[in-house]
Amino acid sequence: MNDPIVRIPVGDWAEALIDWITDTFALLFDLIEVVLESAYDALDWVLTTPPFFVWIAALAALAWWAKGWRLGMGTVVGMLLIYTMDQWENAMHTLALVLIATAIALLFAIPLGILAARNDTASAMIRPVLDLMQTLPAFVYLIPTVVIFLTGAVPGLIATIVFAMAPGVRFTELGIRQVDKEVVEAGESFGAGSRRILRQIQIPLAMPTIMAGVNQVIMLSLSMVVIAGMVGAAGLGSAVYQALASINVGLGFEAGIGVVILAVYLDRVSSALGARSAVAKAQAAAAV
C-alpha cells in the first residue's frame, strides 16, 4: 500500500482526546460508574432472584394486557423455551441491561427531540451528531468506553445508550413537527402558553410517533447489548461471544434464540403499548 502524500493523524488526535477526557473527568466517570453499576445490580437482582415462573407470569400478563391472549400465550411458550435451554439467567441479565439503557437513552432523547422540534438552530446542530451516531460502526463505541470504564456492565451500558439514542430524538422531533399548525394556533388563540401547548397538544398528538421511536430505541439497545458481551457485560451477548470463541455451535444457537425471543417480545409489547394511546386509537378508528 502506498503511503499518502499528506497523512492527517485523526486517530492520534482521537486517542489524545480520549486520554485528556479520561484524566480530566476521572471523578465524574467514577460517579457515573457507581450509579450505573448500582442501578444495574438492583434491577438484575429483581429479575433474577424470584423463581423463573414468577417473571414468566408477570411478562405474560403484561403482554396479555397490552395486546391480547395470543401474545400472552406466545410469551409463556417463548420464555419457557429460554428457561428449558438453561439461558434464563442470561436472558434476565440482558433484559436488565436493555431496560436501564433504554430508560436513560429516552431520558436524554425525548427532551433533545422536543428542543429540535421547537428550535430550527438546535435541530441543525443536533442532526449531524445524530448522523454520526447512527453511521459509526457499533464496535467503535466500545473502544472509548473500555478505555474509560474498563470491562463489565458499565461500558456496555454507556455504549448502548449512545448507540440507541438517535432514533428517540429523531422520532420525537418528527412527531411534534407533524402536529397540525392550525391545532397549535387554536391553542394559542385560547391563551395557552408554550409549555401548556407542548404538554396538552403537541406531545399527546405526537405520541404514536414518539412511541415508534421508543420501540426503535429498545430494538437498538438489544442489538448493542449483545455486542457489549464482548467487553464483559453479562447476558446472552456474553454467551454468544463464548460460543464464538470456543466454536460452540449449540451454545451459540441457544443464546441466539434467546435474543430473538426477547426481541420479539419487546417489539410486540412496546408496539402494542404505543397503539393504546388515545390518538393512536382515534387514528385506527378513522382508518376503518
pLDDT digits 0-9 by tens, 218-244: 888 888 877 778 777 788 888 888 888
For residue 1, is pLDDT > 60?
no
What are the residue ranges spanned by the domains of the chain? 11-278
Residue 172 contacts residue 114 (beta carbons within 8 Å):
yes
Query: Sorting pLDDT into bands at 50, 70 and 90, what band is 75?
Result: very high
Per-residue pLDDT of 30-49, as tens digits, reads 898 899 889 999 999 999 99
Instruction: Answer with the residue of higher pLDDT: 15 or 95.
Output: 95
Mean pLDDT of the 4-12 span: 80
Instruction: Answer with the residue of higher pLDDT: 191 or 44.
Output: 44
Query: Sorting pLDDT into bands at 50, 70 and 90, what band is 288?
Result: low
For residue 59, is pLDDT > 80?
yes
Mention every residue, 6+ apart, whose C-beta is less than 8 A from residue 89. 48
Mention every residue, 6+ apart, whose C-beta is less than 8 A from residue 205. 175, 179, 180, 183, 279
Residue 207 contacts residue 240 (beta carbons within 8 Å):
no
For residue 151, the model assigns a pLDDT of 76
| Other CB atoms within 10 Å distance of the CB of residue 98 | 27
In 3D space, the residue among 176, 169, 167 whose CA is nearest the CA of residue 204 turns out to be: 176
For residue 286, the model assigns a pLDDT of 67
Topology (CATH level 3) of domain 11-278: MetI-like fold (1.10.3720)
pTM: 0.85
For residue 2, the model assigns a pLDDT of 64
Residue corresponding to grid cell 440482558: 94
Helices (H), the chain: 10-24, 26-48, 52-66, 69-84, 88-118, 120-135, 138-149, 153-177, 181-189, 194-197, 203-228, 236-246, 249-275, 278-287
For residue 33, the model assigns a pLDDT of 87
For residue 47, the model assigns a pLDDT of 93
For residue 18, the model assigns a pLDDT of 80
Mention every residue, 6+ apart, whose C-beta is less than 8 A from residue 7. none
For residue 287, the model assigns a pLDDT of 66
Q: What 3-state class would DSSP assign to 226?
A: helix
To 5 degrees, how large is the angle CA 282–CA 220–CA 231?
Answer: 155
For residue 105, the model assigns a pLDDT of 92
Q: Give the least confident one: 103-112, 136-145, 168-177, 279-288.
A: 279-288
Q: What 3-state class would DSSP assign to 172?
A: helix
Residue 160 contacts residue 221 (beta carbons within 8 Å):
yes
Mean pLDDT of the 276-280 span: 71
Q: Give the least confident one: 87-91, 146-150, 180-184, 201-205.
A: 146-150
Q: What 3-state class would DSSP assign to 132?
A: helix
Please, what is the average pLDDT of the chain? 87
In 3D space, the residue among 130, 128, 158 whose CA is nearest the CA of residue 142 turns out to be: 158
For residue 104, is pLDDT > 90?
yes
For residue 13, the model assigns a pLDDT of 86
